Structure 1
């Protein structure tokens, strides 16, 4: 079993809440903060070498996802950190780069979210979509395609399903954390 790599970089050490689950095979580098009951699943890369990355409470970053950020420039003096709020669902094999996912946002499988993008709470990016730079998905909307565009408003049932997904991942992460700890002993 490959333990996660937690690597300080440029004087910044990842800060990971003790209740978070960090799966074996993950690489977490630099100015990263992971909140309570968040989960970073198998073989994810969270690389905050040129800006910061925050992952809020109970959010999950599913298997194979890469999260990065963008450096400050003369055009973007603060660059683009990646800010992931609380209760966010991020599907498998996602690429997040210099974007903001507000509390309760949903990002589907194999999507790309680029610099300056914002997905508001209860907004959803469908599987396989690409959200091009500086786009915003408003609350309650589903966007899909490559490049992504508005498809329709989400139903209350779909929004409730996203919230149930968050609860499922919090509980599943606890079970995986216990299994990893048992295997290590």
Structure 2
């Protein structure tokens, strides 16, 4: 069994050879996935009517859905990011080194800066900007506190652990 990697309108996803795509993931269309990244079980990455770019050492955990807007922007996900289980990312931008909690929803035109965190279950509404150094939570999400040094020091640890785990899965 292998992942579903499907062209859309003649455009096939571009996946770095060191990326791990789980057997039950679906990757469609104009999608780029960078080195050492992981697209885990049950994820859908659908770049049909616009583009999706996922950087290096970024992990998209189980059940996450990533899509785009036809009359708006693609979805841009930087390097060294952890996206928790069952997140929904739609036509948004995630800068390098941010952290997205489980079941978070980031909507059209929203922007999460480097060193920012979106809590589990948070709803970041269209066009909002999650600033560096802050935790946003709630529905709709709003800033609830500044991140601690301990919070921030965990982000690269999480990204590296998942990149290593993705490599183990890819090789096994």
Taking the aligned partners of 1:17 and 1:174, their CA distance within structure 2 comes to 12
Query: Displaced runs of 4+ in structure 1, greater than 4 A?
Result: none
Mapping 1:51-130, distance limit 5 Å = 51-72=50-71, 79-130=72-123
Mapping 1:96-175, distance limit 5 Å = 96-175=89-168
**Gap runs ≥5 in structure 2:** none
Taking the aligned partners of 1:21 and 1:168, their CA distance within structure 2 comes to 14
Structure 1 residue aligned with 2:47: 48
User: 1:119-173, CA deviations, whole angstroms, 9 ceiling, x for partnerless residues?
Assistant: 0001000001100000000111100000000001101111011110011001111
Taking the aligned partners of 2:161 and 2:27, their CA distance within structure 1 comes to 24
Q: CA deviation at 1:11?
A: 2.1
TM-score under structure 2 length normalisation: 0.98
Taking the aligned partners of 2:50 and 2:98, their CA distance within structure 1 comes to 22
TM-score under structure 1 length normalisation: 0.91
Structure 1 residue aligned with 2:20: 21
Q: CA deviation at 1:178?
A: 2.1
**Gap runs ≥5 in structure 1:** 73-78, 180-185
